[in-house]
Chains A and B, each alone.
Chain A
Amino acid sequence: MILLIARRIGLMLLTMLVVSIILFLALELNIDSVATKVLGPYSSEEQRQLWLQTNGYYAPVMERYFTWAGNFISGDFGESIRFRVPVADILWDRLGNTLILAGATFGVMVPLAILMGILSGMKEGSLTDRLISLICIVTTSIPEFASAVFLSAVFVFSLQWLPGTSTMLNGFDPLQLVLPVLVLVGYGFGYVARMTRASMAEVMSTHYIRTAVLKGLPYHRIIMKHALRNALIAPFTIIMLQINWLLSGVIVVEYAFAYKGFGALLLEASLASDVYLIEACTMIAVCVAVLTQLIADIGYSYLNPRIRFN
């Protein structure tokens, strides 16, 4: 078990290393283009060369990578071209905002999805099951940008209950969070619910559930004690991996509602070819994804005694 975790952590670090190399090579191998992006298209050839010289860009690639990586690990991400401030100054703020959005989404989505999945999988083919399955299919078919349009049309323009943008210009306003969360939950919960349902349905048809029924156990005990523990192992992994998906969803939603978060920042950086900002944002995103993968793996082995005691 300890070894398994150690190997996972090793793999995770290796993944991060490879990603960072790819990213570095993709964005900084062509130094002239870096200089153009930093100094602008109207800079002169000499200006660019001077800039490259002073910033150590004529050193060998390997050396440059290690300097870059070293700075990166110590928290120095460079200066944003677009915002003209150190990347770190804006990054953490934006990340915090996104954390609020993601946390709220997960807080609503996970309990809702699991509850619906369990109810649906408990008795396959029942009316509840069919209804929930239908809802899930429909909601997962509506992409975030579409549900943002639909929900805004209803709640913002027709009913005028909710604000149409979530800029939070005048401080934090929970009301501005409602639509983004609703959009993210709507698109995301169906998948988790369907996975939970499949897992639950599979468990309910196993022989050990039959054993439990034929032991004469009360129904609630069969569900709570025998079924749930087994049925929730698979969804746990799915939920952890949803965090990776959430990062994608967040970009669309933050853009759609002008929410000042990490996703919008990444998009802005990409559109503006803001090299250092892109690097920082991507590394953070990959780091989150790899970490959740790690937690999912460890959690899966922990929840499953067959792996835990082997």
Chain B
Amino acid sequence: MEKTSNNPHPLHSLLTTIGLLRESRVAMLGAAICLFWVLVALFADVLAPHDPLSNLMPMQKPLSENPQGGLFWLGTDLLGRDILSRIIYGTQTVLIYAPLATLTAYLVGIVMGLAGGYYQGRVDMVLSFVANVILSFPVLVLYILIIATIGSSGINIILAVTFASAPGIFRIVRGLAMDLRNREYVAAAQTRGESALWIMFVEILPNARGPLIVDACLRMGYVIITIGVLGFLGMGLPPPTPDWGGMISDARKLFPVFPHMAIFPCVAISSLVLGLNLLSDGLREISLND
């Protein structure tokens, strides 16, 4: 059934991961969509027909011709910037901030969750209470309050996401750690005198990776949506940056006349989130089969 390999090479484990993905069509589709956007971000300079920041011809409908040559495939916005180019460069923005924010949130959440789940008792009580307090704010209220207080910039968005998401990650990791700490291999590590740090990061964390990867994909989707929402509410990244949420916000005023200005960024953001959700769902399915 399964071939056993004697030399677990990193490349080999990457290949097995891809092999695993093939078990689920949903995961494959999700991975393909995500990969598409990653490629778009990587090759934005090649793919974008125009400069995303230069004001060319305002308020052009899709497929209208640019007198300087080329087409405005998706039209232009209020300030005459090419929408397709802005979407392409916007991919870079979203794919830098969302993974970075998710990652920092995970770092904080994992450390808190492992500590709470492993030590339990008072440590857990304090951490859980802090998490409960933060989670008792409706998420968006929290974002708005934070951004309204510290102002909107890339770093601040990452900070806000970390602050607002870490408690949720804490809860998941804590639950997993509480379960895993009762495993006999943890007891074995304890009886040979391993330190708490070793047990948390070598015996517990790697064995919680399945559910965490599934959750991370899902959460990255939420973060992308959040960044979009902040942009939509006018609290996103400062203006000239090509940002999908901001583009939708700008287009709102002219929506009845030029719906395309809002629709295309919406399609972009929805498809990226869809890709992540499909990937997460497929990974869950695969992990259940295992």
Q: Which residue from chain B places its CB closest to the CB of A142 in the assembled complex? A: B270
Q: Which residues of A contact B138 (CB under 8 A)?
A: 244-245, 247-248, 285-286, 289
Q: Is B7 an interface residue (CB 8 A)?
A: no
Cβ-defined contact, A293 with B136, below 8 A: yes
Cβ-defined contact, B274 with A145, below 8 A: no
Name the distance in Å between B139's Cβ and chain A's nearest Cβ.
5
With known contacts A289-B137, A290-B136, A271–B234 Cβ distance under 8 A: yes
Cβ-defined contact, A145 with B136, below 8 A: no
Cβ-defined contact, B132 with A145, below 8 A: no
Q: Which residues of A contact B137 (CB under 8 A)?
A: 19, 282, 285-286, 289
In A266-289, which residues have CB < 8 Å from any B CB?
A: 266-267, 270-271, 273, 278, 281-282, 285-286, 289
Interface of chain B: mostly helix, strand, loop or mixed:
helix
Cβ-defined contact, A278 with B270, below 8 A: no
Name the distance in Å between A245's Cβ and chain B's nearest Cβ.
7
| Per-position binary interface string of chain A over residues 147-184, scored 1 when its CB falls under 8 Å from any chain B CB and 0 otherwise | 00110110011000000100000000000000000000
Q: Which residue from chain A places its CB closest to the CB of B231 in the assembled complex? A: A145
Count of B residues near A, CB < 8 Å?
39
**Contact partner, A150, options B229, B256, B263, Cβ 8 Å:** B263
| Per-position binary interface string of chain A over residues 123-162, scored 1 when its CB falls under 8 Å from any chain B CB and 0 otherwise | 0000000000100011011111110011011001100000
In A195-252, which residues have CB < 8 Å from any B CB?
A: 244-245, 247-249, 251-252
With known contacts A150-B266, A248-B141, A270-B148, A145–B229 Cβ distance under 8 A: yes
CA distance A239 to B149 in the complex (A): 31
Name the distance in Å between B210's Cβ and chain A's nearest Cβ.
16
Q: Which residues of A contact B229 (CB under 8 A)?
A: 143-145, 252
Q: Is B225 an interface residue (CB 8 A)?
A: yes
Cβ-defined contact, A26 with B149, below 8 A: yes
Name the distance in Å between A295's Cβ and chain B's nearest Cβ.
14
Cβ-defined contact, A248 with B266, below 8 A: no
Name the distance in Å between A286's Cβ and chain B's nearest Cβ.
5
Q: Is B186 an interface residue (CB 8 A)?
A: no
| Per-position binary interface string of chain B over residues 252-263, scored 1 when its CB falls under 8 Å from any chain A CB and 0 otherwise | 100110010011
Taking A26-B145, A157-B256, A286-B138 as known contacts, 16 extra A-B pairs with beta carbons closer than 8 A to each other, sorted by chain A number, are: A14-B129, A19-B133, A26-B149, A137-B274, A137-B281, A142-B266, A142-B274, A143-B228, A143-B270, A145-B229, A149-B259, A150-B266, A244-B138, A247-B140, A252-B232, A282-B141
- Residues of B at the A interface (CB closer than 8 Å) are 129, 132-133, 136-141, 144-145, 148-149, 221, 225, 228-229, 232-235, 245, 248, 252, 255-256, 259, 262-263, 266-267, 269-271, 273-274, 277-278, 281
- Residues of A at the B interface (CB closer than 8 Å) are 11, 14-15, 18-19, 22, 26, 133, 137-138, 140-146, 149-150, 152-153, 156-157, 164, 244-245, 247-249, 251-252, 255-256, 266-267, 270-271, 273, 278, 281-282, 285-286, 289-290, 293
